[in-house]
Structures are given as C-alpha cells and as structure tokens.
C-alpha cells in the first residue's frame, strides 16, 4: 500500500477511521527524513492493512504545531483512534517492524482503561 499525504483537513478522519495508522512528519530539506522515507515506504508494502501516512511539516505548519512536532522526522502511531506512540528520529527498518508488532499486540481495552484512570485522576 502506498503512503497517503495528510493535511489539516484529512488528518482527524484518517486517524479515527483507521485501525492502525502510522504518520511520518517530514520535510523535503531534512536529510534524516529523506533517509527514513524509503524505510517507511517499504514497510507500507509489507503491511497493506495499516494506513501509512505522511505530513509535510512545511506545508502543514498549523497541523504540525497543533500536534507539538518539534523535531523531524517524527513518527506517530495511532490504534483505534488513540495515539499510542510518538518519537522523533529516523528508525531503522527492523525497529519499525518491531514497533508495528508491538502496536498490533496492544490490548486496546487495557489502553482505554489506563486512559480513563489517568483522566479520572486529573479530574480529582
């Protein structure tokens, strides 16, 4: 599956509608971004059930700012509409594959329970 370009207007629906969504925040002038691009693309071919998306931080400055992107490349992962991973830096292929395995293995009921508990503590 090829990667899809995300914009401010398509980001939310893409994240909420996908089971697993990986988002690469990048820029054309960024060397590490250029190195990570082929790794990200190759992984998208191995996992057609996952949405692989890219956000051009130069073109989408408002979106990048809203998501607190401070360094690129930054990879964010969402599962069932919930952010489960965010890290700056280019990942080697084997690390990206390991991360995908970890995301697939998440118990989302447990994740939701942890979020609810954290929100409950904040409300007190």
| Residue among 33, 53, 75, 96 flagged as catalytic | 33
Whether residue 76 contacts residue 67, with contact meaning beta carbons closer than 8 Å, is answered with: yes
Tokens of 116: 């609810």
What distance in Å separates the CA atoms of residue 26 and residue 33, rounded to the nearest whole number?
Answer: 6
Q: Is 87 a catalytic residue?
A: no
Q: Which residue has tokens 């931080």?
A: 57
Judged on CB neighbours under 10 Å (0-12, 13-18, 19+), 70 is exposed
The residues near 69 (Cβ < 8 Å, ≥ 6 apart) are 25, 57
| Residue among 6, 15, 30, 67 flagged as catalytic | 30
Q: Is 28 a catalytic residue?
A: no
Active site residues: 30, 33
């Amino acid at each position: 599956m090829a990667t899809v370009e995300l914009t401010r207007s398509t980001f939310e629906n893409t994240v909420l509608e996908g089971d697993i969504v990986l988002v690469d925040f990048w820029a054309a002038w960024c060397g590490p971004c250029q190195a990570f691009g082929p790794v990200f693309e190759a992984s998208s071919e191995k996992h057609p059930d996952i949405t692989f998306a890219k956000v051009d931080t130069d073109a989408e400055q408002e979106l990048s700012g809203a998501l607190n992107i401070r360094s690129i490349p930054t990879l964010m992962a969402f599962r069932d509409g919930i952010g489960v991973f965010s890290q700056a830096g280019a990942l080697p292929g084997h690390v990206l594959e390991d991360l995908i395995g970890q995301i697939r293995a998440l118990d989302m009921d447990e994740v939701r329970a942890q979020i609810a508990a954290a929100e409950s503590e904040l409300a007190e």
